[in-house]
Amino acid sequence: MKTIAMMCAPLLLAAATIAAADPAAPNLAIDNIHIRVADPAQAREWYIKHLGATAGEGPTQVYFGKMLIAIVKTDKPLPSAGSAIDHIGLSFADLEAKMKDLAAAGVKVVTPLRDAPGLFKMAFIEDPWGVKIELAQDTERLGFHHIHLSAPDPDASLKWYEDMLGGQRDKLKGRIEGLRYDGIWLLVAKSGATAPAASGERAVMSVGWRIKDIQQADTAFKARGVKSVVEPRAIGKLWYSFYEDPNGARVELLQRPTQ
């Protein structure tokens, strides 16, 4: 009996480890980000004209592939830089040509084009409403590339998202720790000793994950002490809710109608 118990112990431990690793709300994919601007119609056209987005079904939507950018009107847009969702990243096949086009169009360049050794060519711009955008030339992932959070403890932040929403742990170009959600990277940079500004009132307001069951996810999030901002509610057959991560980044969960 003692021998059997000793043989079973590792199996029980492995099962417990797997159970502990299960995320609170297994995701289907990163679905969207919400940005806050003074003029949604103008913002929609700006992203289509300058960054190659495609028009969404509604007048406040654009897409990069399957990634939705939902545009929210605000009278006082505040920059995303310095907030818990510091910036987003887009990847282009020829970044030098893209930067020339943007410069000619008068787009605000925050950091000029440079070659980051071991990574790729990169630059930073800002849209007219304060959304900070990293432009990269990563041929392995063109289009919507990443979301870059800011937190005092990046490792703890990544662990929180892994525990809550899953994702695939990986290193961007073998160098930068992150999580991948259906190809899109979630990265976290160190903000300093204190938490950054909460994202709810900033230019990049939230990041949304698509899930299967919003009621189950809401129960699981609350059981783990996650701050609820908007309780689950429906628009037609679409359900959504909002929460905040420990550093003030707003997290949306969506249950879209089955096709």
pLDDT tens digits along 39-94: 999 999 999 999 999 999 999 999 999 999 999 999 998 999 999 999 999 999 99
CATH topology for the 25-255 domain: 2,3-Dihydroxybiphenyl 1,2-Dioxygenase; domain 1 (3.10.180)
Q: How far is CA 60 from the centre of its chain?
A: 19
- Between CA 167 and CA 185 the distance in angstroms is 9
Grade residue 6 by pLDDT with cuts at 50, 70 and 90.
very low
- Alpha carbons within 13 A on the beta-carbon side of 166: 17
Any idea where the domains of the chain sit in the sequence?
25-255
Say what the pLDDT of residue 21 is: 64
Q: What are phi and psi of 81, to 5 degrees?
A: -60, 130
**Residues 254 and 212: beta-carbon distance below 8 Å:** no
**Arithmetic mean of pLDDT, 145-154:** 97
- Between CA 25 and CA 83 the distance in angstroms is 25
